[in-house]
């Protein structure tokens, strides 16, 4: 009878583990043209609804589109603004709604990249005309990127990153 060495046993175990892991890895099939189209259309509709709702109902409407999940976060200009949904909700309801009387939000050049049937990346130029509580008007623009997630009921934003353009200087 042959004696099995520790080296041989280790090689056999390593081969078995590699075989099992290579068979068990997740392989995301490429999206069908139909699913790709459905995801693009759905996320585009979500973006349109965000613009309408925020412009009509004010900044609290954003909370209807932020995903209330542990993975939610928002960044702006290289800084983490909201580490999670509770932080976003608290700041929006306790600060933003008190300081922003009205926001008119418009998207341009919206791009949607379906990643799976339930996740998509989106990006767009944005422009906001903001009326502060004291009557002062601000115009803010830039580019936003986000990951949209279909939670089983509707599309929501899992994370966002805003890049604000510097205000244009007046010509002298």
Does position 3 have pLDDT exceeding 90, yes or no?
no
Confidence (pLDDT) at 15: 47
Confidence of residue 25 (pLDDT cuts 50, 70, 90): very low
Question: What are the backbone angles phi and psi of residue 156, rounded to the nearest 5°?
Answer: -140, 165
Q: How far is the C-alpha of 122 from the C-alpha of 40, rounded, in Å? A: 9
Domains and CATH numbers, the chain: 32-164 (3.10.450.50)
Outline where the chain has alpha helix (H): 6-24, 33-57, 85-91, 97-99
Q: For residue 46, give Cα distances in angstroms to 54, 79, 92.
A: 12, 25, 20
Per-residue pLDDT, averaged over 16-28, amounts to 42
Give the model confidence (pLDDT) of 127-150 as tens digits: 999 999 999 999 999 999 999 999
pTM for this one? 0.79
> Residue 49 has which token pair?
């609804």
């Amino acid at each position: 009878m042959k004696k099995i060495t520790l080296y041989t046993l280790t090689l056999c175990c390593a081969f078995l583990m590699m075989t099992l892991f290579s068979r068990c890895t997740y392989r995301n099939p490429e999206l069908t043209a139909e699913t790709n189209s459905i995801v693009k259309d759905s996320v585009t509709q979500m973006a349109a609804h965000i613009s309408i709702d925020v412009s009509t109902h004010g900044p609290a409407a954003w909370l209807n589109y932020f995903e209330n999940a542990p993975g939610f976060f928002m960044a702006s200009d290289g800084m983490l603004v909201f580490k999670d949904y509770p932080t976003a909700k608290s700041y929006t309801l306790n600060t933003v709604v008190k300081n922003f009387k009205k926001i008119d939000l418009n998207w341009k050049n919206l791009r949607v990249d379906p990643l799976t049937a339930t996740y998509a990346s989106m990006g767009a130029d944005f422009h906001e005309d903001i009326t502060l509580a004291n009557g002062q008007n601000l115009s803010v623009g830039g580019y936003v990127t986000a990951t949209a997630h279909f939670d089983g009921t509707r599309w929501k934003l899992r994370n966002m990153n805003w890049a604000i353009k510097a205000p244009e200087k007046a010509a002298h």
